[in-house]
Structure 1
Amino acid sequence: MQFADIQEARDFLEQHPEVRLIELFLIDANGVPRGKLLHREELLAIYENGRPLPSSILALTINGEDVEDTGLVWEVADADCWTYPLPGSLCLQPWRAQPTGQLQVSMHPTQGLPASPADPRHALVRVIDRLKADGLHPVMAVELEFYLLDQQRDANGRPQPARQMNGVRPQAPQVYGVAELEQVQPFLDDLYAACETQGLPVRTAISEYAPGQLELTLEHRFDALQAIDEGVRYKRLVKGVANKHGLQACFMAKPFGDQAGSGMHLHVSLADEQGNNLYASELSDLEGGPGTLLRHSIGGMMSCLLDSLALFCPNANSFRRFQANSYAPLAKSWGVNNRTVSFRVPGGPAKSRHIEHRICGADANPYLAAAAILAGIHEGIKQQLDPGAPISGNGYAQATEFLPTDWLTALCALEQSEWAKAQFGEEFLKVFLAIKHREYREFMGEVGEQDWRWYLTQA
């Protein structure tokens, strides 16, 4: 675990005398940034001595409620656990009305006890280190879909797509529409400018397959941890810039039942120490040739798919995204240049060859999703697992082994998985599963509008 040098803070303070406040945040099990707003004078001390945060900060539901079964609340007296700054994370938040800095921290492996085993970033670091020990350097990129919504609900209390510059609320999908991008240009201009300020490598913007739905891509990084750190910070940035424009950026997996869901596609390849793509020469073998590194990688991800589904789809709403012909995958399937499968090998030149993992909802914690993907790849390579024949044509019509479409099945599979225990550790799983089982009970115990509409008079 590498933490930032104090010179980074000194340089920032010298270059930005206007900054009075610093947002310090850590990413919890749900991918939610949690932390404190600090004064400028407190920054150097964080780099010198760390910053204590309560152990319960990693024991919270998505609604910010303590989960006692994690063992990180009263059992340990909600102890202070020391966090330290991550290199390159100190930057400006240009969407704030008052000049404000931003600093991401992570638990120290020893000084952060008892909470440090529950830090989701640690889980990814451990998996990456195991791959590098075998001479395999994971290269990754994050691709996130989201909706731009009004902050005000409609007359029925439902969320609604934001009005465009022309005052019209979009009704049709208009996928790939350039006019739709032009209509949100003020938001996109500020978003790109904020990304440049924070050093985030955001590139192509696309109008996605629903009214008000957008997708922006981030560049591949040779350092997979850097790629995921940037994905996490990008999500924070999108929400901040949207709020500045009086909008809400929504990363729910399925905010509208009759519209496309939002996914987080993670792109991955393996390189040697010099950065050469180890998948680059393998396309000729993809359709049934001898086992190759790329095929074994896909085979491993397929073999661990059920065990890790609760990390890819961590919420009740996550599973509403799985619908046929919706560009969300439904089965253990792979193919070349095929968007109807779970694991897609895009076309393009050999040097860019990689796997696109298409299962995660946009609500997934990027650290945990990436850790599960890379752990599956490593398993497939070690065990030389073959994924079988690739799907050609409509993967929805040819699917034979479907993913479960309910939250509890996925949670139970993770809980019973010996593979997950070996990859993530029992301490991490105890905390994560305690949080998720608590959320499951609360979600299923809540009676709402749908129950009344279906059963109030007919039952």
Structure 2
Amino acid sequence: MTKERPAAGTAPANAPPRIEILLVGMNGDLRGKQIPLEAEKKVWDGSVRLPSSTQSLDIWGDDNDDITGLSLSVGDPDGAVLPDRRSLAAMPWAPDGSKQVLATMHEFDGAPSFMCPRAILAELLKRFEARGLTPVVATELEFYVVEDDWRETGKPRPPERLTYRGKPNGFQLYDMNATDALDDYLQTVRAWAREMELPADATTAEFGHGQFEINLLHRPDALAAADDCIYLKRIAEQAARRHGLKSTCMAKPYADQAGSGLHVHASIVDREGRNILDAKGGDPVRLKSVCAGMLKTMRQAQLIFAPFANSYRRFQPGSFAPVDIDWGFGHRGTAIRIPDSQGPAARIEHRVAGADVNPYLLLTAILGGMLLGLDEDLDPGAATEPGKDPVGVERLTHDFLTAVEEFSASPFIADVFGERYRKLYGDTKRKEAITYLRTVSDFDYQTYLPRL
């Protein structure tokens, strides 16, 4: 039976409608303002203000002014929060008539902030536009649904409807019993996606207990595709609240269950709408060069694909998360998979990122690598074949701090994200990695204290 308890903080039934103007932070978090709908004009006339440092906050919400110098030391100046009208959408969980819109932070001279993830992706897309090219992008988001008592227990547990006497029923890959058990929740997600006009497609049960995947259809606008992904994450969480549950995009919420990824499918079309990666029955030379560009820059960009300490728990041999920097045709164990090399559907699938990734930064890193492969003739090496180990390839790192240092030293990152953002992101993540390393865990106490 559906749990109909209201979520904490649910507005009263007679609450007035509102519009929310939203910025996406460094960690994919949403920050912004709620504005009464009768005052909506201020959203569109550009008079909404927030401190520019809003875009520099770390996972704990700290502005780290001591290491960034972007907050109080310079007076914590405001920026202009300018909405993207294309992202205006309904807000189905809020009072009738409520809306939401995604925005980009701008300086008062009119320039987009170097710290704004939406602006960073938009700037990269100008390079494709200058070449007469358009990336076509789709995302596949995996996430877990858990019981909403995690604050009391200190850890997640699968929805009771997927357990028997408190124990999970087993792996649930493509199991319709699992989707049926949470059908009320999943139908709310789908209904709200439809109301918000998101191009949501298939929903499937994944391996983990309470893990699901929702596919979003291809968009010939990478910025809109990233917007779709942010909105889908928000829908998943808001719908979970409605049903007395919690959704999470942690990359690895359970040690003994599959991690959650965010896979990206991408192709490139020219001004005539032709897929330039189409091999047309021959050797997919251009497609392979694009793969090589992403492989060449993958270690440098891994901090984008795996932005938190927990992210690195996902990279385990024998799982569907890649550990090698390799590619293959139709091979789901590789970092870059080519599902199709012929016809309009010729594309790559990037399988490295976790569900915890910031989609704007993710697409910037992927498309930056693809652009490198378009501008140079690169060889990705031999394709990894099913049942065989990759030959002569580098591995992804399993270490958060190593990823920070490789990101921070990368000329590719400086070129694609901007040198100032490379420093901001790298310095902020270095603090997070060091804080993680300094934290003594229950594992340490359980393993070492009794024996040493």
- Work out whether the TM-score is over 0.5: yes
CA positional deviation for 1:179: 1.6
AA paired with 1:145?
Answer: E
Distance 1:186 1:157, change over 3 A: same
State the Cα distance separating 1:349 from its structure 2 match. Answer: 6.2
CA distance in 1, matches of 2:169, 2:18: 41
Displacement of 1:382 in angstroms is: 1.1
Q: Equivalent residue for 2:145?
A: 148
Q: Which residue of structure 2 lines up, in the alignment, with residue 23 of structure 1? A: 20
Is the 1:109–1:117 Cα contact (8 Å) retained in structure 2?
no
**1:50 shift after superposition:** 3.4
C-alpha spacing 1:432/1:55, structure 2 compared with 1 (3 Å): same
Cα distance between partner residues in 1 of 2:52 and 2:153: 40
| 8 A Cα contact 2:162 2:209, kept in partner | no
1:7-406 mapped onto 2 (5 Å cutoff) = 20-68=17-65, 69-96=67-94, 100-108=98-106, 110-111=108-109, 116-153=113-150, 157-164=154-161, 170-282=168-280, 284-286=282-284, 292-347=285-340, 350-394=343-387, 400-406=393-399
Shift in Å at residue 100 of structure 1? 3.1
The alpha carbon displacement at 1:19 in A equals: 5.3
Work out the CA distance in 1 between the residues paired with 2:109 and 2:234: 27
Structure 1 counterpart SS, 2:86: coil
AA at the equivalent of 1:143 = E
Task: Tell me what 1:12 maps to.
Answer: none
Please state whether the residue corresponding to 1:285 is helix, strand or coil. coil
Q: CA deviation at 1:343?
A: 0.4
**CA distance in structure 2 between the partners assigned to 1:180 and 1:270 by the alignment:** 36
TM (normalized to structure 1)?
0.90
- Does structure 2 retain, via aligned residues, the 8 Å contact 1:127–1:371? yes
Query: Deviation of residue 36 (structure 1)?
Result: 1.9
* Distance change in 2, residues 1:95/1:398 (3 Å): farther
Deviation at 1:251, TM superposition (A): 0.4
Contact 1:269 1:354 (C-alpha < 8 Å) held by counterparts: yes
Q: List runs of 5+ in structure 1 lacking aligned partners.
A: 1-16, 287-291
Deviations along 1:134-177, one digit per CA (max 9) or x if unpaired, are 12211100111000001114996421011228987643112011
Sort the Cα spacing of 1:342 and 1:297 in 2 relative to 1 into closer, same or farther, 3 A.
same
Match of 1:456 in 2: 449
Q: CA RMSD in A?
A: 2.2
- Structure 1 residue 399, shift from structure 2 partner: 7.1
Between the aligned partners of 2:25 and 2:139, the Cα distance in structure 1 is 19
**CA distance, structure 2, for counterparts of residue 212 and residue 396 of structure 1:** 31
Identity of aligned residues (%): 35
Instruction: Render the CA deviation track for 1:102-148: whole Å, top value 9, x for unaligned.
Output: 121111255477x8111111111111110221122111001110000
Change (3 A) 1:421 1:349: closer
Residues 299-344 of structure 1: per-residue CA shift (max 9 Å, x gap): 1001111111111111111111011121011111111111010000
- Structure 1 residues 272 and 164: CA distance shift in structure 2, 3 A: same
Q: Give the partner amino acid of 1:124.
A: L
1:135 counterpart letter in structure 2: G
Structure 2: 5+ residue stretches without partners: 1-13
Q: Given residue 209 of structure 2, which amino acid in structure 1 is its aligned partner?
A: P
Q: Aligned in 2, Cα 1:139/1:238: closer, same or farther, shift over 3 Å?
A: same
The whole-number CA distance in structure 1 between the counterparts of 2:128 and 2:108 is 23
Q: For residues 163 and 282 of structure 1, do their structure 2 counterparts lie closer, same or farther at Cα, with a shift above 3 Å needed?
A: farther
Distance 1:59 1:123 in 2: 14
Normalised TM-score (structure 2)? 0.91
CA contact (8 A) 2:330 2:339 kept: yes
Q: Distance in 1 between the 2:266 and 2:208 partners?
A: 26
